[in-house]
Amino acid sequence: MNNNINKYVTGREIYHQPEVWKKTFKIIEDKKKELEIFLEDIINVENIRIIFTGAGTSGFIGDTVVPYIKNKFSNLDVESVHTTDIVSHPETYFKSNIPILLISFARSGNSPESVATVKLAEDLIDNLYQIVFTCNLEGELAKNIDKAKNKLILLPEESNDKGFAMTSSYTSMVLASLLFFSIDEIEYLKRNIYKVFDLGIKALENTETIEKIASISFNKIIYLGTNSFYGLARESSLKLLELTAGKIVTRYDSPLGFRHGPKSIVDDETLIVIFLSRNDYSRKYEYDLIRELSLEEGRHKVLVISETLDKSIEGLSDYYIYLSDEELSIDERFNSINYIIYPQILGLLESIKLGINPDNPSPEGSVNRVVQGVKIYPYDK
């Protein structure tokens, strides 16, 4: 690890992620029987609706994993809705006569909107089931959940990031939720998931490209991804925004959506980062945008991150990172926990370069590790 990075809690938390993932896998594996029974009972509830929720990065966990769940359980009504949307308009999402499995993600479990969302769900929904994925046993969500009917999945203590930005908490909860909805395949996954973890270690040991990018002055960094990688793009953008205290302009989009106006933001000091799909059909659209960007005039740069080497894309991009020499045999959504390592490190290096303390990028308190200043109002049915 770069000594400059090692000085910060955030840097150490980024680098210990593969070890935390191994502990996370063991937690889910050890709960296999009870989680299998719980999931089977839930998916057989008539008209069940599954809502993934959280605030900020915790909300982006749902955005990242929901496409996987939709593909695996095509008969289920599944969506990701952030607590910050639910709290202001609960009637839009909670109907008393529709059974709901509410899946809450939380690093601390103390965010006002997350606590309020659970209370609203308990008040408004006649048939409510809950799973809480959290990194903090002492948080309000962990303490208040009724364990007789619901499930608390407590992640390893090391996942409860002490730094300002969520890093290992995000990847561990993404992993845990993907594993939960693949609980019937846990033995098969065990033979393959450690390859993902090993690639994470390899990514952390080979950061030369990201360090080179960080040495260049980019005023704007754009993250683009489709499907699960759209949620990943949202999280990547937030990491940069948080760690640099908003000093670098950042946004997220899909490769197709980017052309519809947002592409206007590109100038000579812009880096566009594209998370490449494994799916050949989806990749055609990503390839078209990469080719378009490579042919346009200007000094903007393109970084592509993919699972395996694609020579045609390597030739069109300014920077190219790939995880492995061979395609993984498990769903590409599991790549999310490795792909995010690069934006995490880039955000950290940009923060340090700007003279900002990444562990506390907002010392004046305008934003906080656990959001402050949110007043929750009573809701009348």
CATH number, position 77 = 3.40.50.10490
Does position 160 have pLDDT exceeding 80, yes or no? yes
Can you give the pLDDT at residue 249? 94
Q: What angle do CA 119, 155, 337 make, to 5 degrees?
A: 105
Please choose, from the candidates 49, 103, 59, the residue with its C-alpha nearest in 3D space to the C-alpha of residue 232: 59
Question: 97 with 126: CB under 8 angstroms?
Answer: yes
Domain end position, chosen among 121, 152, 187: 187
Instruction: Tell me: do 143 and 215 sit in the same domain.
Output: no
Q: Within this chain, do residues 136 and 212 fall inside the same structural domain, yes or no?
A: no
Q: Are residues 148 and 289 in the same domain?
A: no
Per-residue pLDDT of 82-132, as tens digits, reads 999 999 999 999 999 999 999 999 999 999 999 999 999 999 999 999 999
Note whether residue 361 is domain-resident. Answer: no
Do 9 and 43 lie in a common domain? yes
Q: Are residues 270 and 348 in the same domain?
A: yes
Residue 158 sits in the same domain as residue 254: no
Q: How far apart are CA 57 and CA 371, in angstroms?
A: 12
Domain membership of residue 263 (yes or no) is: yes
How many domains is the chain partitioned into structurally? 2
For residue range 231-286, what is the model confidence (pLDDT) as tens digits? 999 999 999 999 999 999 999 999 999 999 999 999 999 999 999 999 999 999 99
Contacts of 116 (CB under 8 A, 6+ apart): 83, 87, 376
> What range does the domain containing 162 cover?
3-187
- What residue type is 170 in one-letter code? Y
Mean pLDDT of the chain: 94
Check whether residue 151 and residue 242 sit in a common domain.
Answer: no
For residue 304, the model assigns a pLDDT of 98
User: In angstroms, rounded to a whole number, what is the distance separating the alpha carbons of residues 247 and 239?
Assistant: 12
- According to DSSP, the residues that pair with 324 across neighbouring strands are 308
Yes or no: say if 223 and 343 are a contact pair by the CB < 8 Å rule. yes
On whether the CB atoms of residues 104 and 155 are closer than 8 A, the answer is: no
Is pLDDT at 368 greater than 70 in this prediction? no
175 and 227 fall within a common domain? no
| Domain assignment of residue 88, yes or no | yes
Q: Assess if residue 201 is contained within a domain.
A: no
pTM of the model: 0.95
Q: 178 and 285: one domain?
A: no
Q: Per DSSP, what are the bridge partners of residue 80?
A: 52
Say yes or no: 150 and 265 in one domain.
Answer: no
Per-residue pLDDT, 381:
75
In sequence order, which residues have a C-beta less than 8 Å from that of residue 112 and are 6 or more positions away?
371, 374, 375, 376
For residue 367, name the pLDDT band (cuts at 50, 70, 90): low
In a domain, 51, yes or no: yes
Establish if 378 belongs to a structural domain.
no
Q: In whole angstroms, what is the distance from residue 311 CA to residue 227 CA?
A: 23
Query: Do 82 and 177 belong together in one domain?
Result: yes
- Count of residues making up the chain: 381
Task: Please determine, for residue 369, whether its predicted confidence score (pLDDT) is greater than 70.
Answer: no
9/142 same-domain check: yes
Distances (CA, A) of 237 to 242, 282, 361, 372: 9, 22, 15, 22
Give the model confidence (pLDDT) of 162-210 as tens digits: 999 999 999 999 999 999 999 999 998 998 999 999 999 999 999 999 9
